Amino acid sequence: QVQLVESGGGLVQAGGSLRLSCAASGRTLSSYAMGWFRQAPGKEREFVASITITADFGSTSYADSVKGRFTISITNAKNTVYLQMNSLKPEDTAVYYCAARATSATTWTYWGQGTRVTVSS
């Protein structure tokens, strides 16, 4: 099992920045992906960003709506993933969830409890 704990959410004005953290513990995956998803009130959960880590390669992916504003990164120890969110907009308001899966998995297997981000206009 992998446990994921998010932190860093809060209230921010439009144009501001926040950094979300996701601390992972438990089972170690040799090749895996970690991602951020969000769910706004009344909407389905949507993909935000992901980072894929293999033995000698790492790649990132972003939703079009956050490209150029959000950056996903991971610590050298590979146990904490961050989502740096800049130029925040009211439409970024949502509960943000961290997720993880082995690269061989087709679905996201592990989920955190979520952290709320509210962007005021």
Which residues are CB-neighbours of 55 under 8 A, at least 6 positions away? 30, 31
Residue of higher predicted confidence among 28 and 89: 89
CA-to-CA distance for 61 and 48, rounded, in angstroms? 8
Average pLDDT of the segment spanning 100-106: 90
77-93: pLDDT as tens digits: 778 999 999 999 999 99
Residue 56: its pLDDT value, please?
A: 66
Backbone dihedral angles phi then psi of residue 18, each to the nearest 5 degrees: -145, 155
Average pLDDT of the segment spanning 20-43: 90
Which residues are CB-neighbours of 49 under 8 A, at least 6 positions away? 35, 36, 60, 61, 62, 63, 66, 70, 71, 72, 83
